[in-house]
Structure 1
Amino acid sequence: MTAVTKKAEGVEKKKKSGFRETILLLVLGVGIALLLQAFVVGSFYIPSESMQNTLKINDRVFVNKLAGAPERGDIVVFKGWNGEDTIKRVIGVGGDRVVCCDSKKRLTINGKALDEPYLYPGDFASGDKFDVTVPQGKVWLMGDHRSASADARSHMEEPGEGFISVDDVIGKAVVRYWPLSRGTIFTTPDGFAKIE
Structure 2
Amino acid sequence: MSIFKIHAREIFDSHGNPTVEVDLCTSKGLSRAAVPSGDSTGIYKVLELWDNDNTHYVGKGVSKAIEHINKTIAPALVSKKLNVVEQEKVDRLMIKMDGTENKSKFGANAILGVSLAVCKADAVENGLPLCRHITDLAGNSEVILPVPSFNVINSSSHAGNELAMQEFMILPVGASSFKEAMCIRAEVYQT
Higher relative contact order (CA closer than 8 Å, sequence separation 6+): 1
More helix by share: 2
Structure possessing the higher radius of gyration over alpha carbons: 1
TM-score, normalised with respect to structure 2 = 0.23
TM-score, normalised with respect to structure 1 = 0.23
More strand by share: 1
